[in-house]
Amino acid sequence: MKRTSVQLADGRELIYFDERDDADRSMPDRRELPPPPPASQLRYDPLVDEWVAVAAHRQTRTFLPPADECPLDPSTPDRSTEIPVYDYDVAVFENRFPSLSDRVGELPAELTPYTPVRPGLGRCEVVCFTSDHNASFATLPPERVRLVVEAWADRTARLSELPGMEQVFCFENRGVEIGVTLHHPHGQIYAYPFVTPHGRAMVAAARRHAEATGGRNLYADVLAAERAAGDRVVAGNEHWTAYVPAAARWPFEVHVAPHRVVPDIPALDDAERDAFGQLYLDVLRRFDALFDKPMPYISAWHQAPVHADRELAHLHLQLFSIRRAADKLKYLAGSESAVGVFINDIAPEQAAQRLRDAG
């Protein structure tokens, strides 16, 4: 793998990850761009002990442009995009409309004594999986998936080193039903200055389990139990298992987890990185085969916090879709959105069987 870091016209960083060592990435960004926007505001909600990002500049971000105006395609002699070169393997760059960044702007005066406000420090990056606008992650060859894993590992390690960062989150949104604003196959990486609410909940549950069992890892025990039960396992190999959680929240939800307890993507060894792509591509293709059309989904890597409680974590990828039937979506209505109680329309065992059949 070859890694090349360059700067875009407005000072944002772009990193190329190439399969060939002789790839030339010296072509400059020919555009004239305004400076990047200042960081968002983080406002504290004391009622639920959570931070909310207010990023008003994102209201003007690019929204579903026609294919010939996609900013994630390679540049051409006649049109410059976010990627200056005319072809690429994997490219990662700072989001032009970030929810979090290191460019601090003015903050408002105190809102109330109970609502502190602080800069939305962090980093938001876009990960382009391929230069092919019409591809999808499921159509990538295994060697390209391996390169994407290397990019995730690189960015997780480097973003974890930034001052004040507490959690790094790699994810992909696919499909207009999910809310994507660009069709080009891509994902994102967020570096947060706090541990996310879901991350805190997982750490708290893992700590309770460790204290009750003499130090056992909660996710490792759950994974072992699912592999032993078998009825919710979708597929697996020597290093990874893909299964539907017994308490799945979404109509079709799969966890893809390594058998070895590791805190994050950089901790995966070469054999685990090789084996991940084989299984993940299989699961993605099963998702698309369920209704014989592209499945909208969110793919989310759950990694350990950067500094604290790393021994309690167990890396895993959560893949889920809001589609519950060929012509029906699951909406997060009152119970889910207002009080956080999910109601699943499909039994996890049925979902697992349908995904096994789809293979």
Active site residues: 186
What residues contact residue 218 under an 8 Å CB cut-off, 6+ apart?
A: 205, 206, 209, 210, 312, 314
H or E stretch at 119: strand 117-119
> Is the separation of the CB atoms in 318 and 300 below 8 Å?
yes
Q: Which residue in 75, 120, 99, 88 sits closest to 18, CA to CA?
A: 88
Q: How far is it, in rounded angstroms, from Cα 284 to Cα 279?
A: 9
Give the residue carrying structure tokens 């204290």.
211
H or E element at residue 5: strand 2-7
Tokens of 59: 């209201």
Sheet containing 233-236: order of strands: 2-7, 13-18, 90-94, 123-128, 186-192, 167-174, 297-302, 316-321, 252-258, 240-243, 233-236
The C-alpha angle with vertex 92 and arms to 256 and 102, in degrees rounded to 5, equals 105
Distance CA 271, CA 146 (A): 11
SS (H, E, C) 190-224: EEECCCCHHHHHHHHHHHHHHHHHCCCCHHHHHHH
